[in-house]
């Protein structure tokens, strides 16, 4: 498997992974009608917009199989809510279910962390749905400390998100 920076031409593949992963991961957490309403076409358009913006401090990385199929992606950049301690944020990481628990997620997060460090951002947080126990275990296995919680609305339902933080992402990046 190969990890590289995402390009505009990856939008359709990223949208497919994004939606398929939401449907498998959030079944029973996010309302079924919301998951059913997710559209590959709308997702592709949204990702084309994200990937066409010139934002040097925000990057998306994709994981590909040898044949070129995108099977996961992750992205991060400066923290979005003004947290004084955690200057960067892992915005998202999605890996198709059949490739989870294969070190691919760790490799994607490491790619994001390395880019953040190059951009002078050495601490990071991530928000995850409270009931997404697999992701929470993943962040804990990376040494993340639970920090805070907040309520968000998804598909007309209030859900709780919790954050995990790392004061030094050097080890996640593989630089220790």
pLDDT at 57: 75
Report residue 80's pLDDT band, with 50, 70 and 90 as the boundaries. Answer: very high
pLDDT at 112: 97
* Token couple for 28: 């029973």
User: Could you give the CA distance from residue 119 to residue 113 in angstroms, rounded to a whole number?
Assistant: 10
Evaluate the CA torsion angle 157, 82, 14, 66 in order and state its sign: negative
Given a cut of 80, is residue 176 above it in pLDDT?
Answer: no
Domains, the chain, ranges and CATH? Answer: 2-166 (3.40.630.30)
User: Could you give the CA distance from residue 32 to residue 20 in angstroms, rounded to a whole number?
Assistant: 13
User: Could you give the CA distance from residue 149 to residue 138 in angstroms, rounded to a whole number?
Assistant: 18
Q: Please measure the distance between the N-terminal and C-terminal CA atoms of the chain and give it in whole angstroms.
A: 24
* Token couple for 86: 């955690």
pLDDT digits (tens, 9 = 90+) for 5-30: 999 999 999 999 999 999 999 999 99
The whole-chain average pLDDT of the chain stands at 95
Task: Look up the pTM and report it.
Answer: 0.94
* Token couple for 49: 């917009």
Pairing of strands 70-78, 59-64: antiparallel
Average pLDDT over every residue of 159-166? 98
pLDDT digits (tens, 9 = 90+) for 36-60: 999 999 999 999 999 988 777 789 9
DSSP tag of 137: H
pLDDT at 107: 96
pLDDT digits (tens, 9 = 90+) for 126-137: 999 999 999 999
Largest CA distance in the chain: 45
Backbone φ, ψ for residue 154 (5° rounding): -130, 120
pLDDT at 113: 97
- DSSP string spanning 51-86? HHS--TT-EEEEEE-TT--EEEEEEEEE-SS--SS-
Beta carbons of 71 and 8 less than 8 angstroms apart: no
């Amino acid at each position: 498997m190969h990890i590289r920076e995402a390009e505009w031409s990856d939008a359709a593949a990223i949208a497919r992974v994004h939606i398929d992963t939401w449907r498998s991961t959030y079944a029973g957490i996010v309302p079924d009608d919301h998951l059913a309403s997710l559209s590959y076409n709308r997702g592709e358009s949204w990702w084309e917009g994200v990937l066409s913006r010139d934002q040097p401090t925000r990057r998306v990385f994709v994981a590909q199989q040898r044949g070129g199929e995108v099977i996961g992606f992750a992205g991060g950049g400066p923290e979005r809510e003004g947290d004084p301690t955690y200057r960067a944020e892992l915005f998202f990481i999605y890996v198709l279910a059949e490739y989870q628990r294969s070190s691919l997620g760790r490799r994607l997060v490491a790619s994001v962390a390395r880019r953040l460090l190059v951009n002078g951002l050495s601490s990071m947080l991530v928000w995850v749905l409270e009931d997404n126990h697999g992701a929470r275990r993943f962040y804990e296995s990376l040494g993340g400390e639970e920090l805070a919680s907040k309520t968000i609305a998804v598909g007309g339902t209030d859900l709780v998100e919790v954050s995990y933080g790392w004061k030094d992402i050097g080890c996640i990046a593989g630089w220790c």
